[in-house]
Amino acid sequence: MSKHIAIRLPDETYGRLQALAERTGRTATLLYIRQAIETHLEDLGDIYLTQAAMERIRSGESKIISGEEFWRGMDD
């Protein structure tokens, strides 16, 4: 199942999107917007997880270990 979503784009961004769609013969919404979201969704998830990990390190809840310590712990 798929869901619909509506967004507002600045005129310049919308124009660029439409121009690209016309040059390539593709539809803007179906291909480019969906592709952009799917491409960047994983990156955004990684960024948020990294920020959360850094906060745990800053608060002392987690600590940074060396690669050697990491691999030594894998043998346990």
DSSP string across 25-41: T--IIIIIIHHHHHHHH
Q: Is residue 2 part of a domain?
A: no
CA-nearest of 6, 1, 56, 53 to 29 is 6
Contact status, residue 32 vs residue 17, Cβ threshold 8 Å: yes
Q: What is the mean pLDDT of each run of 10 residues along the chain (76 residues)?
A: 84 90 81 83 92 96 91 78
Domain count, the chain: 1
pLDDT for the residue numbered 47: 94
The predicted model scores a pTM of 0.50
Structural domain boundaries enclosing 20:
11-74
Structure tokens at 1: 């199942």
Q: Is residue 43 part of a domain?
A: yes
pLDDT for the residue numbered 76: 60
pLDDT for the residue numbered 30: 67
pLDDT for the residue numbered 26: 82
Query: What are the distances in angstroms from CA 76 to CA 70, 71, 72?
Result: 11, 10, 8
Q: Is residue 3 part of a domain?
A: no
